[in-house]
Structure 1
Amino acid sequence: MTSQADPRSGAATDVTGDRVTLTYQVSGMTCGHCEGAVSEEISAIGGVASVKAVAATGQVTVVSDAALDDEAVRAAVDEAGYEFAGRV
């Protein structure tokens, strides 16, 4: 696995083989239902292999085939009813 810094945000992007792992901060999640709603919406983005949302930290880890467009993730989080706060 290698880590690369995104020049726009300074956030780290982990690359393992052909997969990219990104972590995002999401505000407003308080329970398992929230985690599921956010995960479901982000999972619908093309190329997403897995999503793990943790309400206690507000962090959402996404594994995908390629780096995701932050605006697509923001739109998915908005659709779920939560606030996208950016990459970690």
Structure 2
Amino acid sequence: MTKITLQIDGMQCGMCESHVNDAVRNAFPVKKVTSSHSKGQTIILAEREIDQTKLKEAVDAMGYRVVSVKSEPYEKKGFSLFGK
């Protein structure tokens, strides 16, 4: 799994968050996407890497501006009986 964090300029409200989330969901196979206009941030969980240029294009097409993209491996945190 990959966690992709976007810093986005232009989100002002909950509808903006929804527009960005829908744009990402419609363009890419993602497990989860959440946005916060107050943080200016969108977090995406996906099985594999997403092309950053295409990701920026999808968000920019909605009228927002991607300022930065950070990608990192993601492991679900949780309780394990095996201590790992």
TM range (shorter): 0.7 to 0.9
Q: Equivalent residue for 1:49? A: 31
One-letter amino acid matched to 1:61: I
Between the aligned partners of 1:80 and 1:35, the Cα distance in structure 2 is 11
Taking only the aligned residue pairs, the percentage that are identical comes to 27
Q: Which runs of 5 or more structure 2 residues have no equivalent in the other structure?
A: 71-84
- Tell me whether 1:28 sits opposite 2:10 in the alignment: yes
Which has the larger strand fraction?
A: 1
So what's the TM-score if we normalise by structure 2? 0.77
One-letter amino acid matched to 2:28: G
Q: Between Structure 1 and Structure 2, how many residues are aligned?
A: 70
Q: Which runs of 5 or more structure 1 residues have no equivalent in the other structure?
A: 1-18
What is the RMSD of the two structures over their aligned residues, measured on CA atoms? 1.1
Q: Which contiguous aligned blocks of 4+ residues in structure 1 show a shift greater than 6 angstroms? A: none
Q: Equivalent residue for 1:9? A: none
So what's the TM-score if we normalise by structure 1? 0.74
Deviations 1:31-88 (A, max 9, x none): 0000000000011123211110100011100011101111111111112110011214
1:22 Cα deviation from its structure 2 partner: 1.0
Between the aligned partners of 1:62 and 1:83, the Cα distance in structure 2 is 16
Helix, strand or coil for the counterpart of 2:12? coil
Radius of gyration: which is bigger? 2
